[in-house]
């Protein structure tokens, strides 16, 4: 029995990203006068998750911890533990906090939604809730998403507990109560599918214009930006500018860009271009306060649970390796990504067993091989391995990769579940093949 092995410094695959930019994103954003934020889960703010959240971002948004159903699950009984944890983490890391959200049709406690209230009672409940929560964090939060998602797609008001019970002026009342509780906090109205110029964003525009004319305290609008790959609105910058021209700030508050799974190098490149387009639009408008991503890692993203078959929506993969989108964000903020060092990722080919039990080596011959892709100082979000056989070997079966062979040339690419190779990590796939006479190891490359 004989074996062969070859290891070569690899050409980096199209999905490769540098481990980090020379300068943290938060410093690049600050140099542009912008905020770069992320939604976070309080219980995860340790280890690598905490290191990235604290090191790369200058603003945090509690993903769920400040919603009414979280803070007052039982009437008169409050749970501030996760919200307090996030605020304390932000203070320790010199970060802003964006409060999210005071008035919404969703994630309200059952005692509220299942109750029967007069208009006066409902108004009192809402005022008490806003006053209690905003007062608790007075002076500690930079901004609040006061009213969340008030509009339908056609620009009419959404039918909710608040609109149906209090009328359209619940928005002005909520803003007024929030301002009274913390005059220093910036107050926003936040919605989705309002990133480009359309019926919904125009309704929001007209509302803000009206509120300003009435003297209602309104400081900004939040464009959620839960986007689909390749569908960044062409009117995004124009839309940001028209709100800014009303005399309010604009923030992209919940950015993620989902794709149909599995991710591949082409989709990740498009995603990077999309992220850059959003950041470019914000950087171009002075009154765009900044951009918050709705979770920075795919392991903490809401997308797969809500949009089956879609995911990979954030700038970091599930193993905390930065994706091409990370580098694109850094570039939009005026930075450069450190190129991975030469040879940072390599492929190693080996024959683990082979057999020749036929007459003169022509019958029942074969071997089992494997290739290991390993990285140090860089990361891969997808990979493809190529080699050319020199002695007529032919692959008959492969696992943990998709392999094709044309003539002597072999190309193997990652499966849907193992495209990520973090810095310091590795991925291995295997195959069975036939051979005749000799079985020299080929030269292998990533590319």
Dihedral, CA atoms, 45, 50, 56, 60, nearest 10 degrees? 10
Give me the residue label for tokens 């044309």. Answer: 406
Q: How far is CA 272 from the centre of its chain?
A: 11
For 98, the enclosing helix (H) or strand (E) is: strand 96-103
**How many CB atoms sit inside 10 A of residue 350's CB?**
18
Q: What is the C-alpha to C-alpha distance for residues 370 and 353, in angstroms, rounded to an integer? A: 10
CA angle 293, 296, 297 (to 5 degrees): 145
**How many CB atoms sit inside 10 A of residue 51's CB?**
12
DSSP 293-318: ES-SBGGG-SHHHHSTTEE--SSB-T
Q: 82 an active-site residue? A: no
- Residue 224 CB partners (closer than 8 Å, separation 6+): 190, 191, 192, 193, 194, 195, 252, 253, 254, 255, 294
Q: How many residues does the chain have?
A: 447
Q: What is the C-alpha to C-alpha distance for residues 292 and 40, in angstroms, rounded to an integer? A: 11
What is residue 90's three-state secondary structure?
helix
From the list 82, 195, 254, 318, the catalytic residue is 254
- Catalytically annotated residues: 254
């Amino acid at each position: 029995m004989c074996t062969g092995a070859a290891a070569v410094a690899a050409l980096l695959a199209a999905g490769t990203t540098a481990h980090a930019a020379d300068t943290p994103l938060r410093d690049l954003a600050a140099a542009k006068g912008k905020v770069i934020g992320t939604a976070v889960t309080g219980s995860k703010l340790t280890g690598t998750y905490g290191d990235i959240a604290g090191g790369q971002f200058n603003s945090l948004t509690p993903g769920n911890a400040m919603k009414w159903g979280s803070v007052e699950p039982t009437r008169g009984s409050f749970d501030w533990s996760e919200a307090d944890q996030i605020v304390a983490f932000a203070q320790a890391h010199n970060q802003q906090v964006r409060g999210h959200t005071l008035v919404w049709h969703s994630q309200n406690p059952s005692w509220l939604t299942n109750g029967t209230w007069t208009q006066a009672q409902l108004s009192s409940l809402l005022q008490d809730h806003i006053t209690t929560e905003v007062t608790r964090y007075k002076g500690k939060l930079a901004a609040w998403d006061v009213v969340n998602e008030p509009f339908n797609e056609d620009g009419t008001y959404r039918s909710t507990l608040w609109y149906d019970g209090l009328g359209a002026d619940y928005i002005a009342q909520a803003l007024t109560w929030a301002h009274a509780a913390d005059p220093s906090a910036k107050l926003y109205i936040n919605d989705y599918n309002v990133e480009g110029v359309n019926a919904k964003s125009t309704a929001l525009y007209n509302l803000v214009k009206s509120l300003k004319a009435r003297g209602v305290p309104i400081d900004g609008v939040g464009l959620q930006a839960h986007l689909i790959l390749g569908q960044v609105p062409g009117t995004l910058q124009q839309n940001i500018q028209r709100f800014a021209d009303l005399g309010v700030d604009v923030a992209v508050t919940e950015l993620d860009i989902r794709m149909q799974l599995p991710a591949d190098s082409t989709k990740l490149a498009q995603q990077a271009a999309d992220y850059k387009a959003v950041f470019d639009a914000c950087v171009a408008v002075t009154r765009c306060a900044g951009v918050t991503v709705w979770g920075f890692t795919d392991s903490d993203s809401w997308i797969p649970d809500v949009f089956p078959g879609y995911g990979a929506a954030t700038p970091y993969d599930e193993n905390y390796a930065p994706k091409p989108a990370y580098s694109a964000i850094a570039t939009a903020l005026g930075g450069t990504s450190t190129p991975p060092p030469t040879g940072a990722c390599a492929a190693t080919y080996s024959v683990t067993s082979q057999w020749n039990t036929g007459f003169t080596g022509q019958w029942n011959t074969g071997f089992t091989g494997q290739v290991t892709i390993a990285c140090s100082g860089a990361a891969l979000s997808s990979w493809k391995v190529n080699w050319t056989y020199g002695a007529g070997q032919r692959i008959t079966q492969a696992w943990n990769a998709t392999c094709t062979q044309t003539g002597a040339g072999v190309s193997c690419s990652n499966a849907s579940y193992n495209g990520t190779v973090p810095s310091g990590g590795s991925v291995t796939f295997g195959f069975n093949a036939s051979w005749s006479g000799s079985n020299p190891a080929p030269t292998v490359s990533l590319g």
